[in-house]
Structure 1
């Protein structure tokens, strides 16, 4: 098999941020070997996460500012949440639970509002990766399904194995996927943010393994493909490996994720991984070096499987050698041949105030914002 890698000689690049924004193509982004393409030409995935853009009560004008700020870094792609599970209606939400029954909110505070997100992204020539549920309790996530259908405190990992829960999630996914099946602004669907056997609660069955989650990924990705042949599908995982010779939690399969096995699934089009060495206890002897090796390991998996892989979340705080670390990691992505990269997370200064800041947020006119402009140009030139 001929391997198609996204690694080319870097050229000298000048970025003009004042030139008119090109109109968005009406075609869909495709995967081709280790690359993405659009209308038969390379499509560079560079951008950011903005989980909050459809869930923070933003006006349509503020949505436009959000995407414009990202586009001005050279961003092409934004990852955002396509979920908010609630048991009491308030603010923007997508699914309201009453006992084991749920109603999907298609009104102006639900999918109608996400229509505005799509329109604002399209106007700024941004494509969206839409994540469909959360491993964690933020904005509801998996445990809401399990608790509402099976009872409070039931094991988190039943989300992957219980037929009633799987059917309920498929019902939710079906509404989203069919609504936007013909919308090219959607780059692709992601099954879940950061799946693991464990979640925000301590309840687990004790029976969850990498096979449990890989089988679920096969089921759910094939289900989406049966509904939507236009869009790419990814998992949204942190990239944990399952290497038989390791006792390190990032490499031993103990989180329930086998990156290599999941990437090899026919109905998964691209791989994802995240990078938070300080949160993961990987800061010694060097968080920067550990992260560089993490990127290289995932590029090796990308080359072996011959599919695109994205570093779709990464972060260190301003007090953790942030600028130097990001220069190292961006350079490793670009020079090493990883397909693309999305920083966590975008920030904007809106008329209603600054967008959420979790310590990683990058606002316009800051050193890392200017770094993004520099490295987006380099990644685009490589491709």
Structure 2
């Protein structure tokens, strides 16, 4: 009897030790952001934020300009930077890239890429992440792009699958998936111990189509993107048990009840709701290793055929509806939601529309708000003028502007985000 009691005590002690170990393993290290229901948590306290999109920051050549940009972000109350964890080029671009100082992390010359972890490569990303930490800013890193910009998913398609393939081959070809995962392992293993990382993002704006058209394997109801999200998020979690993971998606729904609009007497099924894009925001957010939802907001471009004089369609009203729908979906999933990108062109549009969009995101308890995109004046490298790539350039000391950038001297727009940052800070610990 005494022996049995001794055994029982041993088993109980071991069970308590295992349970305690599991709790310790699940507890994020100091400085790492986690989630609790629909909120982010940092070191045991709520963490809500206004953030900045800046793909161009790792492309700057002068540390003084990088420091000045982070200082301006810090002064605006920005707590999270979202930027690209990818910059890939074709081998034919290598000589030009070296000559111009272009930042690049991958070089494609064959069916596999070569890593550049040197001073013009990942060491620049190291510097951005380290500098962000010194200014109290955490970083969301995207692993690749749905679009061709700066070497996205279609470089994998073109080099591995070859010409003539459709965009969705990126999600199905096992050689492509393996190559993508090799890069994911490189980035995650490089930074997985850093508290400066906020989250990993699987891909920017995944769709069935990209600059290449879609194929027959990615159609409404196929669940192809959902399965891809699941596989990749499971991989990242196996590599890194603590940092958050998200899709980077635009937030397209797949609703069984049809949503659409009339155009010139014809009923048009709405791309944002009919599953043609490939996403299913509700199902994707429910995935075990997707920690929070992201969505984007560009109705001025998505509905350009409706945004015309005399139309009863307004981009402001549509945006308010889109914000509310994602807030409801996130509440149902009991996970945080981030309005990760949004934009309109025209200063008058920004001044009129942004206050209402941001107020609606705040009133629906969005955990994060990131306008596209942060603009910086007073950059000094190359005399303030330098062509970077494509049409991206520094012009008279201003960072690249695709029509959506907002700058500190645009005081009415700037104050929308600084005021929101104060509200989010008041909700944080």
Structure 2 unaligned spans of 5+: 1-28, 259-268, 382-396
Equivalent residues in 2 for 1:361-372 (5 A)? 361-366=405-410, 367-372=412-417
CA distance in 2, matches of 1:341, 1:59: 28
CA distance in 2, matches of 1:285, 1:382: 34
Distance 1:26-1:65 versus aligned 2 partners, 3 A rule: farther
Deviation at 1:285, TM superposition (A): 1.4
Q: 2:238 — aligned with what?
A: 226
Aligned residues: 357
CA distance in 1, matches of 2:75, 2:357: 21
Q: 2:286 — aligned with what?
A: 264
Deviation at 1:155, TM superposition (A): 1.2
C-alpha deviations, 1:89-146, integer Å up to 9, x for none?
Answer: 2121111111102111111111111111012111111000001100001111011001
Q: 1:58 — aligned with what?
A: 61
Alpha carbons 2:47, 2:367 under 8 Å: kept:
no
Question: Higher Cα Rg: structure 1 or 2?
Answer: 2
Corresponding residue to 1:122 among 93, 109, 133: 133
Deviation at 1:26, TM superposition (A): 4.7
C-alpha deviations, 1:222-279, integer Å up to 9, x for none?
Answer: 0000001121000001100000112311111111010001000001001000000111
Deviates more, 1:125-134 or 1:352-361: 352-361
CA distance in 2, matches of 1:43, 1:336: 16
CA distance in 1, matches of 2:348, 2:151: 30
CA distance in 2, matches of 1:45, 1:374: 11
Give the 3-state SS of the residue equivalent to 1:321 in structure 2: helix
Alpha carbons 1:82, 1:130 under 8 Å: kept:
yes
The answer to whether 1:238 aligns with 2:283 is no
The answer to whether 1:212 aligns with 2:240 is no
Q: 2:355 — aligned with what?
A: 327
Alpha carbons 2:30, 2:43 under 8 Å: kept:
no
Q: 2:85 — aligned with what?
A: 82
CA distance in 2, matches of 1:183, 1:198: 34
Structure 1 unaligned spans of 5+: 1-24
Which structure has more relative contact order (CA 8 Å, sep 6+)? It is: 1
Q: 1:346 — aligned with what?
A: 374
Of Structure 1 and Structure 2, the greater helix share is in 2
CA distance in 1, matches of 2:123, 2:426: 37
C-alpha deviations, 1:294-344, integer Å up to 9, x for none?
Answer: 000000001000001100000012255211210001100111222221010
Alpha carbons 1:77, 1:126 under 8 Å: kept:
yes
CA distance in 2, matches of 1:160, 1:114: 26
Corresponding residue to 1:250 among 272, 278, 292: 272
CA distance in 1, matches of 2:349, 2:215: 40
Corresponding residue to 2:75 among 59, 64, 72: 72
Give the 3-state SS of the residue equivalent to 1:156 in structure 2: coil
Deviates more, 1:278-287 or 1:230-239: 278-287
Alpha carbons 1:60, 1:120 under 8 Å: kept:
no
